[in-house]
A and B are shown apart, each in its own frame.
Chain A
Amino acid sequence: MKLISDLKKKITENEIWRSIFRHGYADTPRNRVLQIISNIWLHLHPAKVREHATKIRFTWCMGGITFFIFLFETLTGILLMFYYVPDVNRAYADIVDLMYVVPFGRLLRNSHRWGAHAMVITVSVHMFRVFLTGSYKPPRQFNWVVGVFLLVLTFLLSFTGYLLPWDQLGYWAITVGTNMARATPLLGHEGPFSYILGMRPDNDIRFALLGGTMIEAPALLRAYVWHCIAIPVIASALMMVHFWRVRKDGGISGPL
């Protein structure tokens, strides 16, 4: 430890350092508060929190990690969008290029894919933790509801991304998934009672999802737009409500 403090002195107590940083950080209660409330990113937090809320054995850190992975996916997703074109004649080749040609493309695609799986896991573990601590009880009922919508959106985000490589895996997974839509009661052409509304393969809910009767160019474009724009925007809006309500409902839940 002495070595570190000596080293710190050597680095900070000289003319060059002082010319750049003007003054150091004094660890006072006032400064600890200011670090949070005068930082646009950190002021998502209150200046002080109840002690148990900082314990990993209480929160498991799962909500925070889920949010972090969402940011990670946004960043890697934007970078992937520079290379990937949602056109049936190009999409697969673009992915192969990412894997073999683009610098760091393989790492980019792999981490985006694994991050998506990780996010599905962490969000469901977060829900499990919130249930076990009874954190949906008054006054936090509505925030649980927002959380359920965010859970569903996480599934949909991952699901819409599944088609984009335009390979056999994604194609047939989306086939299985969207075939369920045609069995929707009333709204799918093979669903119970759909004759009441006159549903056909070319006007039912599956048709609306795919933009056609088969998974073709319009389906790829729809998956892409939902995946990259529509669902992230909706999820972001709900996340704002989710985090805001955590604060408004009295911070992270805890024993009374």
Chain B
Amino acid sequence: MEVMEEKKRAGEFRDDKVFTWPNLVAKEFLAAIFVTIGLLSYSYFVDAPLRELSNPGEAENPAKAPWYFLGLQELLVYFDPWFAGVVLPGIIVLGLILIPYLDNNPKGNGYYTFKERKFAVSVFVLGYVFWYVLIYIGTALRGPFWAFFWPWEEWTHDFPTPPPMHDLPLPLGVALLVGFYFVGLVLPAMIKRDFFLKLGVVRYVLTMGLLLTMIGTVIKMVLRLMFNVKYMIATPWINI
């Protein structure tokens, strides 16, 4: 009986099936041909980049990672390498892995819908867009010494010296960070009681923890850009 239920859910008994040959295979074949033609013709006209022979004595300026990592490299402006380059990507991958186990909303399984899963879709789309916005900034708007240039500006070595930065006093920084996560966890649970109860404590804390980390990253960027804050928390061992 349980097996039947399971199969029903997977849609095995719904009779809207068509033959794979030719309905699916023909499309796959066409897609393969178009991709091949596209790749080969693009490659015919545009050469892959190749610079001079590598020279450890002469650093590229700016030295950039491959484009898909430039979002993380852009975050190096706002965070230390251990966070922007190691811990944050780790959190992103872990968060992606956790998605199916955190999202226990049974609706929207196997079809496009925004109405039935507003929270999940909004958060994911925001994160996805954020990732690519950072990549765009890192790729197109960062010149020598990782200085910022608008698309219409020319990259020069002659840019204004950035204003001096300061750290927040340690007690204030710790209070702000702890307060941010505390309020961010408690307030939504009180206002959106339904949301909290549906998820349960563990799912709720993990979901909001990941979301707050994403929001916190943006807040740190704002603090840095508007108030010249270098570190919220500066200690001899670790800086955030």
The chain A residues found within 8 Å of chain B, CB to CB, are: 29, 32-33, 35-36, 42, 45-54, 56, 61, 64-65, 68-69, 72, 92, 95-96, 99, 106-107, 109-115, 117-118, 120, 128, 131-142, 144-145, 148, 151-152, 155, 158-159, 162, 165-173, 175-177, 179-185, 188, 190-193, 214-215, 249-251, 253-256
Contacts and interface: CB of A to CB of B under 8 A. Distances in A.
Given A145-B100, A148-B96, A134 B111 contact: yes
B81 A50 contact: no
A185 B48 contact: no
Given A114-B42, A131-B124, A183-B86, A254 B111 contact: yes
B106 interface: yes
B178 to A, nearest CB: 19
B19 A47 contact: yes
10 contacts: A32-B21, A48-B20, A51-B18, A64-B31, A65-B31, A68-B32, A110-B46, A133-B112, A176-B73, A256-B11
Interface stretch (B54-62, B154-162, B214-222): B54-62
Contacts of A115: 39
Contacts of A48: 17-20
B126 interface: no
Contacts of B28: 61, 64
Given A49-B17, A49-B18, A148-B97, A65 B65 contact: no
Interface residues of B, number: 81
Contacts of A172: 59-60, 63-64
Contacts of A181: 85-86
A54 B18 contact: yes
A45 B86 contact: no
Contacts of B109: 134-135, 137-138, 253, 256
Interface in B16-59: 16-25, 27-28, 31-32, 35-36, 39-40, 42-44, 46-56, 58-59
B91 interface: no
Contacts of B23: 49, 51, 54
A192 B237 contact: yes
Given A109-B48, A141-B101, A183 B85 contact: yes
A114 B35 CA distance: 11
A56 B124 CA distance: 22
A142 B113 CA distance: 22
A193 B54 CA distance: 33
Contacts of A171: 54-56
A214 B128 CA distance: 34
A254 B65 CA distance: 39
Interface string B220-240: 000000000000000001100
Given A45-B25, A61-B31, A167-B51, A33 B19 contact: yes
Contacts of B110: 133-135, 137, 253-256
A159 B54 contact: no
A183 B82 CA distance: 5
B66 interface: yes
B106 A137 contact: yes
A213 to B, nearest CB: 12
**4 smallest beta-carbon distances between A and B, as pairs:** A250-B10, A180-B85, A110-B43, A183-B81
A112 B53 CA distance: 20
Contacts of B51: 167-169
A35 B117 contact: no
Nearest to B28: A64
B27 A167 contact: no
A223 B72 CA distance: 21
B24 to A, nearest CB: 5
A50 B14 contact: yes
B238 A192 contact: yes
Nearest to A256: B11
A176 B65 contact: yes
Contacts of A138: 9, 100, 106, 109
Nearest to B38: A118
B66 A191 contact: no
B103 interface: yes
B97 A145 contact: yes
A29 B59 CA distance: 64
